[in-house]
Chain A
Amino acid sequence: MKELSLHLLDLIENSIEAGAKNIFIEINKNKEKTVLRIVDDGKGIPEDVLRDITNPFTTTRRTRKVGLGISLFNEVITNCGGKLNIKSKVGEGTELISEFPSNHIDLPPWGNLADTIYALIVTHPEINFNFKIKTEKGSFEISTEDIKSKLGGDNSFFDPEVIRFIKSYLNQNLGGIGI
Chain B
Amino acid sequence: MKKLTLEELKKIKEKAQSDLQARSPEGKDKIVVHMGTCGIAAGARETLLAILDEIEKRNLQNVVVTQAGCIGLCEYEPLISVQKVGGPKVLYKHVTPEKARKIIAQHVINGQIVTEDVLSTE
Contacts and interface: CB of A to CB of B under 8 A. Distances in A.
Contacts of A168: 4
The 10 A-B residue pairs with the shortest CB-CB distance, nearest first, are A63-B72, A150-B9, A69-B37, A169-B4, A123-B67, A68-B37, A164-B56, A160-B59, A151-B13, A158-B64
Interface of B: 1, 3-10, 12-13, 15-17, 20, 24-25, 33, 35-38, 40-41, 45, 48-49, 52, 55-56, 58-61, 64-67, 69-72, 74
Interface of A: 1, 6, 9-10, 13, 16-17, 61, 63-64, 67-69, 72, 115-116, 118-119, 122-124, 146-147, 150-152, 154, 156, 158-165, 167-169, 172-173
Nearest to A73: B37
Contacts of A68: 37-38, 41
Contacts, number: 109
Contacts of B12: 161-162, 165
A13 B35 contact: yes
Contacts of A172: 1, 3-4
B6 A160 contact: no
B82 to A, nearest CB: 15
A116 B4 contact: no
A151 B24 CA distance: 15
B35 to A, nearest CB: 6
Given A68-B38, A119-B49, A159-B16, 8 more contacts: A1-B41, A6-B40, A9-B40, A122-B52, A151-B13, A158-B25, A161-B12, A161-B16
Contacts of B10: 150-151
A166 to B, nearest CB: 8
A177 B51 CA distance: 27
25 contacts: A1-B40, A9-B40, A9-B45, A10-B40, A16-B69, A17-B69, A64-B70, A67-B37, A68-B38, A119-B49, A123-B66, A146-B6, A147-B6, A150-B10, A150-B13, A160-B56, A160-B59, A160-B61, A161-B12, A162-B9, A162-B13, A163-B56, A165-B4, A165-B8, A165-B12
Contacts of A63: 70-72
A102 to B, nearest CB: 23
